[in-house]
Every structure is written in C-alpha cells, then in structure tokens.
Chain A
Amino acid sequence: EPEVTQTPSHQVTQMGQEVILRCVPISNHLYFYWYRQILGQKVEFLVSFYNNEISEKSEIFDDQFSVERPDGSNFTLKIRSTKLEDSAMYFCASSEGGAWFNYGYTFGSGTRLTVV
C-alpha cells in the first residue's frame, strides 16, 4: 500500500536553530498538509499546499514557518528559528483531492521534534 514517508523520525535541535522536516507524499496525490501534535494535545492543522502554493494556513503557521515542494517528490516544512513550544510530533499528509474528494487522507508516521 502506498505510504507517506517522513524523515527524520526524531530530531533534536537547539532553540533558535533552523530545522527542515521532510516528507515524500504519495506520488499521485495533489494536496499536501502539515499537522502537529503537542504531547497530550489535539492534532492541529498547520498548512495545506496545492498547485505549488499554500492554499490554507492556521494561526500557528506564522512567519517562522514555511513549506516548499522543491522537486516533484519532496514536501518540506521549515521552522526558521525554533522555540521550545515548537516541540511536537509533526505529521505530513497527502490526498488525491481537496474539499470535494471524499476519501481518507494518508498520514506519515511523523517526525518528533524536540527543541532544547
């Protein structure tokens, strides 16, 4: 079964450092997402990406965050200057369609980001 692949599985970084989280979505999918889950809290939407641009973003996704699809397969989330509160599990997801597509979204297994 096709998978969404995320690397690394765990990243530890110093506060103030930049991190890039990487994702390889399913090849025929067109919509890409980042979500995060702070320990003990809900899974929260960060951003959606379609047709090489951000289509929707949450309040969490401020100027410190950016996303990119640098080539035909990778989808990255960059945090420019990490804060302690950025420590969370970050999930990438992809889907064949957006709003009008009734199907499950496929999530990756996540990257655990620890900011120290």
Chain B
Amino acid sequence: DQQVKQNSPSLSVQEGRISILNCDYTNSMFDYFLWYKKYPAEGPTFLISISSIKDKNEDGRFTVFLNKSAKHLSLHIVPSQPGDSAVYFCAARAITGGTSYGKLTFGQGTILTVHP
C-alpha cells in the first residue's frame, strides 16, 4: 500500500533556515491531508491540516501547500528550531463510497534534524 509516500527518509537543516518536507499521494479520493510530528516513545501529535479545496494553510511557523494536479503536498517550517527535530508523518483521509469514518493513511515518515 503506497498510496501516501514520503520519499525522503531524512532531512537535516540548520537552525533558522527553512525545512521543507514533501509528500506524494496516488489516491484521488483523498480529501483531507494532515501532518503529524512524532517523538520517540510518544504518539503522533497533530500539527496542521489542509482540505482538498484549498492550496495553502498557515499556522504560525508551519505552512502546508497542496498541489492537487501533481498529487503533492509539502510542509514548510520557517524558521526551523532544534525542538522541531522529530519524525514528520504525512497522512491522508479518503471519502470512499460517499462515507468515511475518518481512516487515515500514513506515509513512511521523514526524520527532521535541526542543527543549532
């Protein structure tokens, strides 16, 4: 099941610079996309989301961009901070058959390391 793919297993960024995490998807039924951050031995923590009817959503240092024609989304973190170092997961939700109870399909995750 490769419906949601994060092709970069890791990303290393200097503090203060921009971090760009990418995610591609194949299922055109996905209508809602989410980014989660995860520290070791903890559950995923919701960061930001975007509906398929939008192309951008911003929340403080975090911005998510959605390109539906390319089936691609990205998370921008500006400026990056050492505390942002974690695994970032892209997730998507599909409306199947007109109903959905909110099942999320996750990507493999990208390990972000922000160096001081």
Which stretch in B19-27, B75-83, B106-114 binds the other chain?
Answer: B106-114
Interface size on B, residues (CB 8 A): 27
Summed over the interface, the residue pairs from A and B with CB atoms below 8 Å come to a total of 74
A55 shortest CB reach to chain B, Å: 4
- The size of the chain A interface, using a CB distance under 8 A, is 32
Q: Quick check: A104 and B101 within 8 Å, CB to CB? A: no
Which residues of B14-64 have CB atoms within 8 Å of chain A's CB atoms? 32, 34, 36, 41-47, 49, 51
Q: Say yes or no: A109-B106 contact (C-beta < 8 A), given A99-B93, A104-B46, A104-B49.
A: no
Query: When the two chains form their complex, are residues B104 and A45 in contact, meaning their CB atoms are under 8 A apart?
Result: yes
Q: Which of B46, B49, B93, B104 has the most CB of A within 10 A?
A: B104
Interface residues of A (CB under 8 A from B): 4, 6, 31, 33, 35, 41-45, 48, 50, 55-56, 58, 91, 93, 95, 97-99, 101-110, 112
Q: A33-B103, A101-B102 are in contact. List 5 more A-B contacts (CB 8 A).
A: A4-B43, A44-B106, A45-B105, A48-B103, A56-B100
CB within 8 Å of A: which residues of B? Answer: 32, 34, 36, 41-47, 49, 51, 89, 91, 93, 95, 99-109
